[in-house]
Structure 1
Amino acid sequence: MSELVTRAEEWLAQDPDPETREELRRILDAGDAVALEDRFGARLEFGTAGLRGELGAGPNRMNRVTVMRAAAGLARRLGPGRHVVIGYDARHNSDVFARDSAAVLTGAGLRVSLMAHHWPTPVLAFAVRHLGADAGVMVTASHNPPRDNGYKVYWGDGAQIVPPLDVEISAAIEETGPVDRLPLGTGWETLDDAAIVEPYLAAVTALPIGDARDLRVAYTPMHGVGGEILLRAFAAAGFAPPAVVEAQFTPDPDFPTVSFPNPEEPGAMDLALRLAEKTGADLLIANDPDADRCAVGVPTPDGGFRMLTGDETGGLLGEWVIERTSAPDRLVAASIVSSSLLGKIARAHGVRHAETLTGFKWIVKAGDGLVYGYEEALGHSVGSDRGLPVRDKDGIGAALTIAGMAAAAKRDGRTLLDLLDAQAGRYGLHATAQLSFRVSDLALITAAMERLRSNPPQALGGRGVHEVDDLSAGVDDLPPTDGLRYRLDGDARVVVRPSGTEPKLKCYLEVVVPVTGGDVPAARTRAASDLAAVKTDLAAALGL
């Protein structure tokens, strides 16, 4: 306890934030050992996702001291004279953390361009290359709970950092002393709308959207920062203004209408689905709070709406982009937890396909000629023969492209559901599902992974396991990562991995069912049954 108190007092002495100082003083005065251990018994680890965690005092929380130390480490790794562009979303303290970073970086002799407003993450990712910067910082926790924030670092290629950069920056952070001794600078450049948003909009409206525009769209930015930019993108591309969920349109860091601001979470899309049905929309689009993800909903024959999975959208966008690009060496890529459908589409069109580790930092590094990449968690980056304008997830560019596809289908008397059925007929029905476990104790995840490694299942859902890949050893030229992949009899697959950003164990399931006699509904029924059986057996094997 005495050591924790000493650390807390040292923290108090350097903390520039009166709110976290008051929080910590209350804890110390109360002698709350549990709260001290929680805040000072560990620290947020700087990894390839940067930093992400709950707001509060101490090294195991996101706060001004943590952020200033991260900025100092980044400055030390880059060196004086380098150029860093900084963006931020509308979460609690995002603007404060962005300005603190600008002050630390300029004080260390770097040139800084700070965005003038809270804008989407893909705008920041675009800005790094557009401005020729050496690095970028985005202050965001994406779709995490309201009390979280985060700090994502991009390198000069416009992509998030990968090893060994994360280790090098982390080491530089550890060399940083008290932040009240850091030299702080001023005079950084402020990036206004004309400097960065307009070039971004010009880039995404030049994507292969097609020429059809007759489409009714319902949209929600889910209390995030995507709303204004998406409306401007739709107008610039010639689409009619989407109907918007008014209660979720203005950025609000408390996300008052959703329990969890992630389009994939149960209930998060309820207001948007109601609006889509009320307005007779042809398409429903949702961005997550920093607008790097894009969720898609479509009307069903019974008058309702259903959300497409990220894999379904990925297959549609992948084939659309392939058919509208022409470079002979073009490449499409998806993560190992995404559907195998994109690979089959690529082979059918004579296009290269790559499988990468989870995360867009890996997808965008799949190789030269990349025109499209996606991961099943609603992340897409759409490009053209000129490449990807954004080397990260881009929920705005994806929304424009899926709208163009839906408008073209409508013009032809079809829907996106018709396009999905047509793909199933050509390539087999690729059905995917997830099984995830949120825990309060990360040791439970470690124990579950150890159980699977020591006692791997012999069969799942009545399908024999004929191949097991321990991804921690590195397979198929992929860098090592904590995960297991099971290949099942009858063209099925399961991947199990701990989440890199949340206290979750995530399992990704896929079964492929042939479509016989054009009967797609029968194939869907069989696939749903097969997935349910695999889920049941896998949950038992995990023991969570």
Structure 2
Amino acid sequence: MRDWAAQDPDPRTRAELTTWIERAEQGDPAAAAELADAFAGRLQFGTAGLRGRMGPGPNRMNRVVVSQAAAGLGRYLARTGAAAGRVLIGYDARHNSERFARDSAEILAGAGFEVLLTAGPVPTPLVAYGIGHFGCAAAVVVTASHNPAADNGYKVYLGDGCQIVPPADAEIATEIAAVAEVPLGELARSPRYRLVGAELAEAYLDRIATLVAAAAPREVRWVYTPLHGVGAATVRQAVARAGFPAALEVAAQAEPDPDFPTVAFPNPEEPGALDLALELARTEGVDLVIANDPDADRCAAAIEQDGQWRMLRGDELGVLLGDQALRRGVQGTYAASVVSGSLLGRLARAAGQPYVTTLTGFKWIARTPGLVFGYEEALGYCTDPAAVRDKDGISALIRLLALAAELKAEGRTLADRLAEIEQEHGVYATDQLAYRVADLSLITGAMARLRADPPTTLLGEPVRFVDLAEGGALPPTDAVRLGGASVTVTVRPSGTEPKLKCYLEARSPVGSANPLDRLKAEVQGLVDGYLDVVR
């Protein structure tokens, strides 16, 4: 442990580790537990790259771990034929993000790559766009997206513009493990990287301006919050380029703040995250509320319906945006992940367009051949895959403004359009249960219990149990699905947070009582039982 402290170049991290060691030696059990966890193993490099708490030790996000990740990525790229290629690196406004990004730039430049580093914090979609714009072999974004303030992360893309998938993740992890045997001071570094700023932003904004037809309506009144993230500056410019009125911004959340002082969790899905935005909407009498998460790759919306403001579920917004594309006559493949609702598939097939269900995550959605629109219920939308092969909260925001303005010009609202879709196709109600835990073994145990003793009915209806870990139509993944004639439940561990997630869908004819609330209560009882067994 003291050897680790000696090699970490961050004096604050070294001091933190020294304090933990001293307190543990004095018999402090909390310090001993923190040390044990920080050195329990390496922070796992997977298909989301790295993500975790910042702090000292190999199981935390710090300059040692990030430097080794950059060096391992460089070795992987060189081994797979991208030696001396171009790598784009961007970062958000979290604590240490810029330092982690500069470490990565120096190490990859030292390994012989042509490195482009963003001149300041940027939304993740700009980096995803920049891969194709600059002809990159790979890209890195230092971000923890919507995770708590104590976290940071390291997202990796390859030259196809998509996030990494197996086996690339395991192969990069192997290279990182090999690099970890080399003292940090022996890793080659170089300051010869290039800063990119206006060129990237202007190219992305030029693309955004093409998303809305010149003759389309533009009148819409709206509230916006970036939740203390990096989205506001780009959103302001994108909205102006596309010709929409500027938003009424939530002033307390408009500028980047790595401490996220007004929210418990900087995730639009979390209860309370949009309270300030909804309060402003009620005061100002607007048409809708839009939010981005802190790195602006997700988009959330709230609408007024029957005199009350409510947040749209991710599936509802996905259906609205997908329906918008279908009505515009966009031809190609539509896609959603296995944890998302099934209504988009019904809409696509009714319009004569192919539809694909993928594994969870945009690393899979974006790889769908012929993709023209894809979404995931966790507020991720790929509305312009020819430019950004990932979820993009800014282009989704522009598409949503266009839809709201179009409907407003016709005397209708987003709520009206949802009701029209229901009248034509039936009610597809979705919801989610999420169990946040401190001990990940609880999730492992609950999943094992569910596989060993799954329910055979839900709401009295027979359901078929499918273990998605066994593969089949989709590659193997750690999830299970219970499907019946009118209900579907998918259960999986979160890939980015210490949560067990249950995704629910209940289908019913228009005019009949939808059983979603009853389904939610029954599934909650089941999962509570599985968790209790392993506590």
Measured against the shorter chain, the TM-score band is: over 0.9
Cα distance per residue 1:178-211 (max 9 Å; x no partner): 2111111012011011x10111111122225671
Aligned to 1:12: 5
Counterpart CA distance in 1 for 2:520 and 2:21 is 50
AA of the residue aligned to 2:364: W
Is 2:199 the partner of 1:198?
A: no
Q: Does 1:131 align with 2:134?
A: yes
Do structure 1's residue 183 and structure 2's residue 188 form an aligned pair?
A: yes
Structure 1 residue 315 corresponds to structure 2 residue 319: yes
- CA 1:537 to 1:421, structure 2 compared with 1: closer, same or farther past 3 Å? same
Matches of 2:436 and 2:371, distance apart in 1: 34
Cα deviation for residue 45 of structure 1 reads 0.3
SS of equivalent to 2:387: coil
CA drift of 1:9 comes to 1.9
User: 1:437, 1:35 → 2: CA distance?
Assistant: 23
- The 5-angstrom pairing of residues 416-435 of structure 1 reads 416-435=414-433
Distance in 2 of aligned mates of 1:495 and 1:370: 24
Q: CA deviation at 1:533?
A: 4.3
SS of 2:2's partner is: helix
2:409 partner letter: R
Cα drift, residue 78 of structure 1: 0.9
Letter in 2 for 1:47: G
Residues 100-141 of structure 1, C-alpha deviations (whole Å, 9 max, x = no match): 000000011111000001010001111011111000000000
Residue 345 of structure 2 corresponds to 343
The correspondence for 1:482, drawn from 455, 478, 489, is: 478
Cα distance in structure 2, aligned partners of 1:20 and 1:190: 27
**Residues 435-489 of structure 1, C-alpha deviations (whole Å, 9 max, x = no match):** 1111111111111111111111011222221x1110001131x11000101112x
Structure 1 contact 460–537 (Cα < 8 Å) conserved: no
Secondary structure of 1:175's counterpart equals helix
Q: 1:142 aligns with which of 126, 129, 145?
A: 145
The answer to whether 1:531 aligns with 2:519 is: yes
1:345-494 matches, within 5 Å, as 345-367=347-369, 369-383=370-384, 387-465=385-463, 467-476=464-473, 478-488=474-484, 490-494=485-489
Deviation at 1:280, TM superposition (A): 0.9
- How far off is 1:492 after superposition? 1.4
Tell me the residue number matched to 1:286.
291
Contact 2:335 2:368 in 1 (8 A): yes
Structure 1 residue 510 displacement after superposition = 0.3
| Per-residue Cα deviation, 1:371-413 (whole angstroms, up to 9, x for no partner) | 1110000000102xxx431111100000000110011111111
Greater mean alpha carbon deviation, residues 374-383 or residues 205-214: 205-214
Q: Does 1:50 align with 2:54?
A: no
Tell me if structure 2 keeps the 8 A contact 1:205–1:400: no
SS at 1:526 equivalent: coil
The aligned residue for residue 235 of structure 1 is: 240
Distance 1:82 1:291 in 2: 27
Opposite residue 436 of structure 2, the aligned amino acid is R
Partner of 2:161: 158
Shift of 1:542: 2.9
How far did 1:540 drift? 4.8
Amino acid at match of 1:407: A
**Aligned with 2:514: secondary structure?**
helix
Percent sequence identity over aligned pairs: 52
- C-alpha separation in 2, matches of 1:405 and 1:62: 40
Shift of 1:83: 1.0
Bigger Cα displacement from structure 2, 94-103 vs 177-186: 177-186
Which residue number in structure 2 is paired with residue 3 of structure 1?
none
Which of the numbers 267, 283, 296 marks the counterpart of 2:301?
296
1:543: how far off? 3.6
Q: Which runs of structure 2 are paired with 1:243-258 in the superposition (5 Å)?
A: 243-258=248-263
Q: Which amino acid aligns with 2:3?
A: E
Q: Distance in 2 between matches of 1:527 and 1:132?
A: 50
What is the aligned length? 519
Letter of the structure 1 residue corresponding to residue 325 of structure 2: V
Structure 1 CA distance for aligned equivalents of residues 262 and 400 of structure 2? 26
Cα RMSD of the aligned pairs, angstroms, is 1.3
Aligned partners of 1:65 and 1:540: how far apart in 2? 39
Equivalent residue letter for 2:138? A
Secondary structure at the counterpart of residue 319 of structure 2: helix
Cα deviation code 1:236-277 (max 9, x no counterpart): 000010000000001000000001101111111100001111
SS at match of 2:399: helix
**1:535 CA displacement:** 3.0
Q: Could you tell me which residue of structure 2 aligns to residue 105 of structure 1?
A: 108
Q: How does 1:166-177 map to 2 (within 5 A)?
A: 166-176=169-179, 177=182
- Give the Å deviation of 1:359: 0.3
Query: Structure 2 length as normaliser, TM-score?
Result: 0.95
* TM-score normalised per structure 1: 0.93
**1:72 Cα deviation (Å)?**
0.2
* Partner SS for 1:350: coil
Mapped to 2, the partners of 1:17 and 1:174 lie a distance apart of: 21
What is the rounded CA distance, in whole Å, between the counterparts of 1:178 and 1:356 in structure 2? 41
- Comparing 229-238 with 526-535, greater Cα deviation is found at 526-535
For residues 521 and 444 of structure 2, the distance between their equivalents in structure 1, rounded to whole angstroms, comes to 25
Residue identity opposite 1:373 in structure 2: G
Of 259, 263, 266 in structure 1, the residue corresponding to residue 268 of structure 2 is 263
